[in-house]
Structure 1
Amino acid sequence: LLIFFPSPLSIVFLLLSSISICWYYLISRPIPLFLSSSSRLLLIIAHPDDETMFFSPLIRNALRCGSRVFVLCLSSGDFYGEGDRRRLELFDAVDRLGIDPSDVTVIDGDNMKDGSEWSSSSLLPIIIRYVVSLDVSLVTSFDDVGVSGHSNHTACSLALKAARSILPDQVELIRLESPSLFRKYSGALSLMVSLLRDSPNCTLISSPADIISSWRAMAAHRSQLLWFRYLYMITSSLLFTNTFTRVPRKVRSHF
């Protein structure tokens, strides 16, 4: 009885072929309605580089749909005193992603310094003001886990939930679903998971060209390019796929 064991090369070829087929199928699916029906989108982030590290599939798909993407960054990321530099890096990064830098606002209030505890109640009026003034129809940010568990990320989520009871129903609020630890660092393998698990109605997929744009945008954040960021650029599933959940129409505000 002969037992056939595939060679390592054939296993790699089979894996890459499977990923490629999944990728081609996923990017050929229709864009989710929540995005294709929104002409003006507001992305709320806590720090410069959040837009690229976590939301690049959303940004690239929105721009491809013809949406105008605004970015509201709630701090300059000045934990190490590099706020001015990081602000300029953010403008460069969004330009590489395809966003007009003039559509980016960086707020650096005394009560919203990078790394300090943010009060969700102090973020709420800021979010409401920009949603109204920019006349956006879709607003997105982190969920309660905040991908990395960063307290500034979770504060954004809590403020967005509170905004639901104030903003009109025609303004759609969605939050980025934080992946499990395994999936977060599964890189392109996450595409296979997405095919099996995620609903096409709430998932956005980056094309190969989008991945290159994301890498170029991440390179713009030069002050943040420590060794583990290079590893992140290869292994992060959030460069390949974003899955979102809607903020329910009726939520109880904590304020």
Structure 2
Amino acid sequence: MLLAGLALGIALLVPFFYFVHRSPALQPQPLPSVQGISNGGKINVLLVVAHPDDESMFFGPTLLSLAQLGVYNIRALCFSTGNADGLGSVRKSEMATACSVLKIPTENVDVVDHPALQDGFSSLWDQTVIVNLLRKTVEDHNVQVILTFDSHGISGHPNHRAVHSGVRAFLLEGGKPTESKRSSVQVWELVSFLHPSLHCLIH
């Protein structure tokens, strides 16, 4: 109940962040509409975060809004269990519960526990590992839209910023088998509204 209240409470807050995608005018644009594509006409969306609770703290309103539309198939890929304080297994379980509240099926939630991607302010994450894991998820589930952090990582956490760098590398350094397929994946960043890095967009 606590997690449910947290997720729904966040959804009611006045948003301090918004999603941006590169466009000619560099203005926020709506997510793509459904045009009879895969998964029964739904668009496959992948949320990419660093720690359990990122989905609720930062992306809750967006996830609930997408779920209400009923035209997006949403997955979540979390690159760590958040084990900095030894509570990784607890946080992993909490993320599954929170995602259920946010209308993401449990089977669509993947939490990674990789030695090169451990939670911590002093942990330097391996970009190659991020790219490889992201590529596999995108290919296995025909992901068409990715939602993730901007270059500041919203809170400035180095793991958040590493996720941004990894997603960018995925796009720019061969994230898909062919250039045409790679360019078909749209990436949307949650902008750190109070940080001057609004110009740094993934494209």
Could you say whether these structures have the same fold, taking a TM-score greater than 0.5 normalized by the shorter chain as the test? yes
Q: Determine which of 48, 54, 77 is the counterpart of 1:50.
A: 54
Q: 1:15-34 to 2 correspondence within 5 Å?
A: 32-34=29-31
C-alpha distance in 2, partners of 1:246/1:80? 32
Cross-structure match for 2:148: 141
Asked if the contact 1:36–1:62 (Cα under 8 Å) also holds between the matched residues in 2, the reply is: no
The answer to which structure has the higher helix fraction is 1
C-alpha distance in 1, partners of 2:170/2:115? 22
Q: State the AA in 2 paired with 1:140.
A: L
The CA deviation at 1:35 is 4.3
The CA deviation at 1:122 is 2.1
Cross-structure match for 1:247: 202
Cross-structure match for 1:88: 93
**What TM-score do the two structures reach when normalised by structure 1?**
0.58
Of the structure 1 ranges 146-155 and 119-128, higher mean CA displacement relative to structure 2 is found in: 119-128
- Tell me, yes or no, if structure 1 residue 99 matches structure 2 residue 104: yes
The CA deviation string for residues 204-236 of structure 1, in whole angstroms up to 9 with x for no partner, is xxxxxxxxxxxxxxxxxxxxxxxxxxxxxxxxx
Q: State the AA in 2 paired with 1:91.
A: A
RMSD: 2.4
Q: State the AA in 1 paired with 2:63.
A: I
C-alpha distance in 1, partners of 2:184/2:111? 26
C-alpha distance in 2, partners of 1:117/1:152? 8
Identity rate of aligned residues, in percent?
30
**What TM-score do the two structures reach when normalised by structure 2?**
0.72
Q: Determine which of 33, 36, 39 is the counterpart of 1:36.
A: 33
Q: State the AA in 2 paired with 1:135.
A: N
Runs of at least 4 residues of structure 1 off by over 4 A?
none
Q: 1:198-213 to 2 correspondence within 5 Å?
A: none
Return 5+ residue gaps in structure 1 as ranges. Answer: 1-21, 24-31, 182-242, 249-255
- Tell me, yes or no, if structure 1 residue 132 matches structure 2 residue 139: yes
SS of alignment partner, residue 129 of structure 1: helix
Q: Determine which of 154, 157, 168 is the counterpart of 2:161.
A: 154
The CA deviation at 1:33 is 3.6
C-alpha distance in 2, partners of 1:56/1:172? 20
Cross-structure match for 2:73: 68
The CA deviation at 1:175 is 1.3
Bigger Cα Rg: 1
C-alpha distance in 1, partners of 2:61/2:33? 14
SS of alignment partner, residue 64 of structure 1: helix
C-alpha distance in 2, partners of 1:126/1:44? 11
Asked if the contact 1:35–1:62 (Cα under 8 Å) also holds between the matched residues in 2, the reply is: no
Return 5+ residue gaps in structure 2 as ranges. Answer: 1-13, 16-28, 35-41, 177-181
Q: How has the CA–CA distance of structure 1 residues 36 and 60 changed in structure 2, closer, same or farther, with 3 Å as cutoff? A: farther
